[in-house]
């Protein structure tokens, strides 16, 4: 067997694909003197809306803010319930708690790790107001089934698309399907503005409400009505939040948007190389591809270990990757295993057996457009070497 190349430095788990073009655009905004939300944020909104096929897009400073505003726009109240997959990040359920409402956790599909549509129906009660599917790792949840269930019960669908840009479901862009779609532009995401987010909706009333509430509940329309008062006039129509996106961030977002297709193709190529390399090893389960008419954003490459075939556990697998200078992560520790959700709602590991089991054996490998061919090969070599060395 040929000896593995030893890396000199750690391969980071994630790195943004940011170059001189982003730096030049950000510098030009800084030189312009207009730093906060202005023409760049507006341009980013309209270009993003056109890209995903939404009528309206509202730029905010995180996906968490986007989901909070979407729930506010539908008028969520403390006595309400919202259905959320347990296999997700903190933000998806915490925004429901902002209203004092209850996030009702649901188990996931063992292949996609997205919410199991068959289990959504059973979680619906007279208090349910919305379903928040998460497109795990950039692969779409089953939107037709979720949409049909929502229509039957008159529920709103708010997609957590933090991982899902650019993702397609049955040929349609994520962002053009449900009542709301919320994107994240956090530093590790497939399009980054450092921190940032976007709310997409086709409903003008909801979009207007999100615009008002993302900036202190101040109505931009008010001063137009009271022209006698002049352009300094504004009205507070509700106690809003401070969630607006700056022009500095939006300038970066516009450059990222223009190269989003190229960055996704590069991530897809990396995913294909991983899958080809791992397919023959029974101790490894490659990340599943998306169905044929879908498009996977490949934000994450979720490898799964067949732990029965290993003499080591996942923690040791991580140590072995680290020894070979490969960064990795786990997505996610399901919500029902965290103290807050256990203690508040009495959730136990066996309430969601699929999520509890899959979490134990998931390893997210580096997948980003800045990776070189050698970086990808280093990951493949490290993973296959560990798999061979510790095969039971």
Ligand X SMILES: Cc1ncc(COP(=O)(O)O)c(C=O)c1O
Residues that bind ligand X (CB under 6 A): 62-64, 88-89, 91-92, 134, 160, 162-163, 184, 186, 197
Question: Considering beta carbons, is residue 26 or 134 the nearer one to ligand X?
Answer: 134
Q: Can you tell me the distance from the alpha carbon of 269 to that of 327, in angstroms, rounded to the nearest whole number?
A: 19
DSSP 194: S
State the nearest-atom distance from the C-beta of 264 to ligand X, in Å. 17
Q: With H, G, I as helix, E, B as strand and everything else as coil, classify residue 380.
A: helix
Shorter beta-carbon distance to ligand X: residue 175 or 197: 197
Q: Which is nearer to ligand X, 169 or 278 (CB)?
A: 169
Min dist CB 221 to ligand X, Å, is 28
**CB of 89: closest distance to ligand X in angstroms?**
4
Between 86 and 266, whose beta carbon lies closer to ligand X? 86
Provide the CA 193 distance to its chain's centre, in angstroms: 14
Burial class (CB in 10 A: 0-12, 13-18, 19+), 235: middle
Q: Other C-beta atoms within 10 Å of 317: how many?
A: 21
Task: Give, for 280, the enclosing helix (H) or strand (E).
Answer: none
State which residue, 318 or 332, has the beta carbon closest to ligand X: 332
Considering the complex, state which of residue 162 and residue 255 has its C-beta at the smaller distance from ligand X: 162
Tokens of 269: 């190529």
Laid out side by side, the sheet with 301-305 consists of 284-285, 301-305, 362-365
Q: Is 270 within 8 Å of 138 (Cβ atoms)?
A: no
CB of 37 or CB of 184, closer to ligand X: 184
Whole-angstrom Cα distance, residue 148 to residue 171? 18
Q: How, if at all, do strands 156-161 and 128-131 pair?
A: parallel
How do 81-85 and 102-106 pair as beta strands?
Answer: parallel
Query: Shortest distance, CB of residue 191 to ligand X, whole angstroms?
Result: 11
**Least CB distance to ligand X at residue 135 (A):** 8
Q: Starting from the edge strand earliest in sequence, which strands make up the sheet with 180-184, in order?
A: 56-60, 197-201, 180-184, 156-161, 128-131, 81-85, 102-106
What is the 8-class DSSP label of residue 38? S
What Å distances lie between residue 347 and 89, 115, 126, 214, 361, CA to CA? 17, 17, 21, 33, 21
Helices 204-213 and 63-73 pack at an angle, to 10 degrees, of 120
Catalytic residues: 189
């Amino acid at each position: 067997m040929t000896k593995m190349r030893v890396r000199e430095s750690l391969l980071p788990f994630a790195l943004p694909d940011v170059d001189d073009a982003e730096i030049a655009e950000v510098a030009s905004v800084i030189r312009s003197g207009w730093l906060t939300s202005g023409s760049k944020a507006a341009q980013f909104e309209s270009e993003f809306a056109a890209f995903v096929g939404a009528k309206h897009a509202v730029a905010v400073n995180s996906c968490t803010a986007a989901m909070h505003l979407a729930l506010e726009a539908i008028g969520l109240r403390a006595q309400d319930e919202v259905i959320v997959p347990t296999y997700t990040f903190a933000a998806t359920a915490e925004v429901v708690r902002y209203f004092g409402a209850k996030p009702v956790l649901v188990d996931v599909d063992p292949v996609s790790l997205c919410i199991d549509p068959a289990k959504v129906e059973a979680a619906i009660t007279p208090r349910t107001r919305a379903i928040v599917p998460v497109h795990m790792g950039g692969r779409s949840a089953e939107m037709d089934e979720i949409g049909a269930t929502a229509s039957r019960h008159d529920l709103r669908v708010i997609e957590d698309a933090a991982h899902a840009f650019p993702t397609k479901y049955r040929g349609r862009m994520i962002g053009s399907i449900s009542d709301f779609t919320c994107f994240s532009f956090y530093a590790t995401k497939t399009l980054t503005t450092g921190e940032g987010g976007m709310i997409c909706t086709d409903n003008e009333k909801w979009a207007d409400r999100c615009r008002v509430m993302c900036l202190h509940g101040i109505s931009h329309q008010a001063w137009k009505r009271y022209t006698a008062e002049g352009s300094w006039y504004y009205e507070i129509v509700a106690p809003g939040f401070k969630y607006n996106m700056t022009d500095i961030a939006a300038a970066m977002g516009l450059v990222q948007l223009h190269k989003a297709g190229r960055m996704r193709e590069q991530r897809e190529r990396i995913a294909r190389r991983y899958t080809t390399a791992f397919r023959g090893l029974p101790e490894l389960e490659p990340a599943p591809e998306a169905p044929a008419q879908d498009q996977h954003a490949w934000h994450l490459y979720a490898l799964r270990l067949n732990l029965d075939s290993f003499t080591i556990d996942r923690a040791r697998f991580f140590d072995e990757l680290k020894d070979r200078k490969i960064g990795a992560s786990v997505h996610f520790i399901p919500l029902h295993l965290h103290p807050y959700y256990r203690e508040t709602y009495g959730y136990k590991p066996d309430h969601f057996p699929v999520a509890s089991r899959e979490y134990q054996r998931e390893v997210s490998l580096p997948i980003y457009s800045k990776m070189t061919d050698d970086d990808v090969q280093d990951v493949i070599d490290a993973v296959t070497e560990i798999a061979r060395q510790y095969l039971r």
